[in-house]
Structure 1
Amino acid sequence: MIRSVLVFTRSSSAGARSTRTRGVLSGLSLLAAAGFVLVSVAADPTQQVMAEPASLPSENRPGQDLGEITGEQASLVRDEIVVHTPTPTPTPTPEPEPAAAAEASSSGQQAASISIPAVAAPNPGSAQEIARQMVLSRGWGEGQYSCLYSLWQRESNWNVYAQNSSSGAYGIPQALPGSKMATHGGDWQTNPVTQISWGLDYIAGRYGTPCGAWGHSEQVGWY
């Protein structure tokens, strides 16, 4: 730091000294002050003269519009700018209601529509008449008998002794093996009532109704 310089001058008592003497003293005082400053600077090497800050480059001026920047400055500015684009939140797909899902599943599992064939009235005492009475007693109706008639007409032609030479299926309902019908009577090989009774129980347990069994047979050729 610059040390202050005190200059002591002697004052004359009564009269002032000549103008020449004051000029000499003043000149000597200035020289002494200058010399003192130089000595102070030399003695304090850490002292530095602060330079006026240089003006900022045009690209660093606050508030400058990016439209004024071109060339290399523009490329530098673009490199330093990070644009954060918010990632859109995907809209979740709503899950189907349980009732709707069950309905769709049920619709996909529905079998093809069943065409119920027309059937003539059976002869009294025939196997067809016995089967018809058993069907009606279960509350299934005439339409279910029509399906049953068509089903067993395809399987055995209503022949109580029909036997499949390759599989061994036997009787009107073509039980496989035929001995299964023994649960409904020991005369399963010759009695149409025993065979029909077993056949209706089998259909009810596996397909629900004769038309259910007929619809399956229409699709795959067997029941």
Structure 2
Amino acid sequence: MTPDNELISTSTRPNAFGSNKTRTWRRRLSAVGAGLAVVGFSAALLAPTGTALADPSAAEAAVTAFSLAAQDTQDITVSVQGAPIEQVERGSFEVYIKPKPKPTPKPATASASAPRPKYTGGGSKEEWMSAAGIAQGDWAYVDYIVSRESGWNPNATNSSSGACGLVQALPCSKVPGNGYNPVDNLRWGSGYATGRYGGWAGAYAFWTRNHWW
């Protein structure tokens, strides 16, 4: 009885070695299936890109469409109230610069260097100094300077400098009125003597030291 029982037990008991082989094959089949699934998914994702790369005409068509769209943005026709505006070619334009107005010519005036009329009237040096407002106490100083500058000639003119008149005003155009008029010339001389030397006495002192004033 015992041997028969052992035989039956041995025949019906699962083979441990055989069960390990079965499990190993199942694992391998599962791994292969998973790998095929990944490959199939990757192929599905790369199919459009692969098609585009394999077919150059498809890429060219996409670039051409973009170029046409970009070109269309430069060829827009604008219309105002239904009236189309012609497209202007780039680079062909004109610039209008408003010219400056011509300056209005100034009215002609008498030149400061124009010759003054010479003195033809009469009179004495005392009359001229009195008419010019020179104090009698300064007449001696005036007489000293004028005698050496012009010799009391109202029309005296320095040929090199252009100084004119009794006190040899320089330039002659500075004299208000007429530089050859003895009264106008002496009146200007009084202002010059006062402004530069403090009066006729100071002008006389300077002249005696320097022989000019």
TM beyond 0.5: no
Structure-1-length-normalised TM-score:
0.38
Structure-2-length-normalised TM-score:
0.40
Greater helix fraction, Structure 1 or Structure 2: 2
